[in-house]
Structure 1
């Protein structure tokens, strides 16, 4: 039995990860894609985010979640993070829902369905000494404790050629396969709310526990290409010393099996995510991480064909 990708052209199918690529991702925890977006698509994304920064919205969040990243001009020339751009801005959302992107993620995660989990618009200003430009080592699953899946992944989508000089995203090779030590309830807090030195120490301790070398691999990403990383892959980024802004979207993706789960914390509360005050509820009252408004499907595998 074979499975087809009816939403993809023959040319797009050539851009999917090979079996060897999928094995590489499973071993290393990251993958650099082929050119998934045309220059025109990237330029349209850049223009749409310009309009977003100018205040253009097609809809806004019904309530403001407690841990929302939402840069506004009053915050000044720091590194900008804006969540839910796929929801608030139709043109941005339409580009991010490109089926080819979802199909690549599905291959890597070995999933039949891929939904958006979150989208964060990022602007790293060309200010070499700006402290907010440094993103310390972390992995995303820490902040997704209320998600049941261990196969979630992130696509990093720069709007231009992106290299070390610009402070590109950098992966700790193979770290998604490490067993974790030293984790407590503090790890569910976002890296921006934690001590950078503590995060560096946690990385070193976990590498030592696993007898692993810390191999930091900067992602050198040509325009239109993407990097993908597993939800347990340690990653971070350095200063932008290029003299040009580094602009990108981190598109967090969930496989179709992902759902809200109860994750108790030591203080008697439960881990939460911003979705929990926004999305619809399931029949039994749980936050629905398949809410099509906030978590739209961007790829679903077709039914098997033939015998």
Structure 2
């Protein structure tokens, strides 16, 4: 995008978070937006996701990262996670790269530039007892140890009205401001690779250490609206108790200052991210988290 493409109409500008909204986000660690996408845009996203599940790809990843989430039909009626949909599908990318979305994130993060970090398409089948539908408590920064930024955030975009009975995203209010205990090598592993009881225990111990109660806020998200949360906000989601699938994209975002850093684990190995085997290299040989092929810029002031 050229700088002239990072602009909003007057109507779009009216949808940006107010100063009060920015203060709310800073205090609570999450924010529910106004309607950022029209019904037609969301319906186009549904159609593009149907094509994606049918095997349509405009681009293929040149290599398969070690921790890639990539549902395929043979995996069955479990919760589906597919990373890099913004890279593989031009139709999905066109909708996700709406400048308004980036401008909202920039206002919340108090950053002049926002880039995509990752996009994951999610499908929760309407099977109340399906164990994979339950996402245990976690926060995203744990998995981004190789990123320098503490301003990263995630935007959650359902393809429909998303009430609690569908297993909507649920925030632990204000948890991004907690001092953390119990952080060890295990926290860099994705929640799918860890025991749910261990994660529940970590949440309870961190709340006790900070002298606060765990306040869980399920976010009812109307169609076309989005929730945003800070990279250190604990969140999760429950089972889908409805009669239709819960479909959404979790769009992880980075501010323009974010870059790769070496983060060594106790055994001396480096924590990494899937990008590290895909993106171009910087002049000094580090993975470039500003590679426009995988981390395109959504907004620049």
Q: TM range, normalised to the smaller chain? A: over 0.9
Corresponding residue number in structure 1 for 2:109? 109
Alignment of 1:297 with 2:264, yes or no, is: no
Q: Does 1:261 find its partner at 2:287?
A: no
TM-superposed CA distance for 1:5, in Å, is 9.7
Structure 1 residue aligned with 2:29: 29
* C-alpha deviation, 1:6, in angstroms: 6.1
Other-structure match for 1:12: 12
Matched, 1:39 2:35: no
CA distance in 1, matches of 2:81, 2:93: 16
Q: TM-score, normalised by structure 1?
A: 0.96
Partner of 1:121: 121
8 Å CA contact 2:147–2:259 kept in 1: the answer is: yes
Contact 2:161–2:222 (Cα < 8 Å) also in 1: yes
Structure 2 unpaired stretches of 5+: none
CA distance in 2, matches of 1:248, 1:27: 26
TM-score, scaled relative to structure 2 = 0.98
Q: CA deviation at 1:7?
A: 1.1
How much has 1:128 moved relative to structure 2? 0.1
Q: After the TM superposition, which of the residue ranges 78-87 and 6-15 deviates more from structure 2?
A: 6-15
Q: Distance in 2 between matches of 1:199 and 1:287?
A: 30
What are the equivalent positions in structure 2 for 1:81-100 lying under 5 Å apart?
81-100=81-100
Counterpart check, 1:278 vs 2:278: yes
Deviations, residues 89-133 of structure 1 (Å, cap 9, x unaligned): 000011000000000000000000000000000000000000000
**Equivalence map 1:142-291=2 (5 Å):** 142-291=142-291
2:161–2:223 Cα contact (<8 Å) kept:
yes
Residue deviations 1:44-90 (CA, integer Å, cap 9, x gap): 00000000000000011000000000000000000000000000000
Q: What is the CA–CA distance in structure 1 between the aligned matches of 2:5 and 2:62, rounded to whole Å? A: 36
Aligned-partner Cα distance in 2 for 1:5–1:175: 35
CA distance in 2, matches of 1:20, 1:262: 37
Superposed CA RMSD in Å reads 1.0
Give the distance between the partners of 2:238 and 2:59, measured in 1 at CA: 33
In structure 2, distance between residues paired with 1:272 and 1:183: 17
Distance in 2 separating the partners of 1:25 and 1:270 = 32
Q: How far apart, in 2, do the equivalents of 1:6 and 1:289 lie?
A: 20
C-alpha distance in structure 1 between counterparts of 2:6 and 2:65, whole Å:
37
List aligned pairs for 1:53-92, cutoff 5 A.
53-92=53-92
Does structure 1 retain, via aligned residues, the 8 Å contact 2:6–2:300? no
Residue 304 of structure 1 aligns with which residue?
Answer: none
Distance of 1:82 and 1:172 partners within structure 2: 25
1:274-301 deviation digits (Å, cap 9, x = unpaired)? 0000000000000000000000001000
- Which runs of at least 4 in structure 1 moved beyond 3 Å after TM superposition? none
Asked if 1:50 corresponds to 2:58, the answer is no
